[in-house]
Amino acid sequence: MKKSNNAKPITENDSRQAQFRLLLAVPLSALAVGLGYAVLSLPSQAPGLSDHVAAKLEISGVSNPVTAVLLNFRGYDTLLELGVLLLALLGVWSLGAAPKRREPSPGLVLELLSRLLVPLLILVAGYLLWVGGHAPGGAFQAGSVLATAGVLLLLAGWRLDTRFSGLPLRLALVAGLGVFLLVAVVLMLAGGHLLEYPPSFAGALILLIEAAATFSIGTALAALFLGGRPEKGSHR
């Protein structure tokens, strides 16, 4: 409707845009200076919550403090965050089906690469998952490495068999949040608070949750890469 108006006075539009940019740069620079000042005004020593974490690390079930925070002390955040990931996928699926594949052959290099890399990446994911208890690593890192393997497979032209693209795929996507929620509720029903691990089982339960979460995160991220829901009968 207004397109015809916009098309003509390009030069005038451009100069107005330049003015706008200049005008915008002033308050934003002020914002940057103000925020910078605020940051610099903070004390140069602040332990945050590291002492609290160190004090309770013993009974958290893991020895990597970041994993302890993610899966135990602030596990509830992580639970909701798995919800965010699943929700994003639901949103993408509600927007339509995945686009049909155009290129029939992905090329020899990619195929070789995926054949070599995928097993390696799955190994790395498993390693990261296992090592997350006591060293850097954990479910999110492992899950995203797993997803990278999935993305490579998708790039090489592999598609999930339609037999599995229904309930089995959905189960795989829900597993992380589902297991996490189930453990949380069972612990609550057993007499504790929501997500209150008994210290002797904490390590095992965290590993269980992380394994399920890794699987789901990997599947969800790879499915997000597909950019739509896998439609029945759309393979090949």
| Residues from 40 through 69 that contact another protein (CB under 8 A) | 40-50, 52-54, 56, 64-69
Whole-number minimum distance, CB 68 to another protein, in Å? Answer: 7
Of the candidates 153, 160, 143, which has an alpha carbon nearest to the alpha carbon of residue 219?
A: 143
216 binds another protein (CB under 8 A): no
Whole-number minimum distance, CB 86 to another protein, in Å? Answer: 8
Radius of gyration of the chain (CA): 24
Whole-number minimum distance, CB 62 to another protein, in Å? Answer: 11
134 binds another protein (CB under 8 A): no
Handedness of CA 217, 218, 223, 225 (dihedral sign): positive
Figure out which of the listed residues 37, 108, 200, 236 binds another protein, where binding follows CB under 8 A.
Answer: 37
Whole-number minimum distance, CB 142 to another protein, in Å? Answer: 9
Please give the residues from 182 up to 211 whose contact with another protein meets the rule CB under 8 A: 184-185, 188, 192-197
Of the candidates 88, 77, 71, which has an alpha carbon nearest to the alpha carbon of residue 196?
A: 71
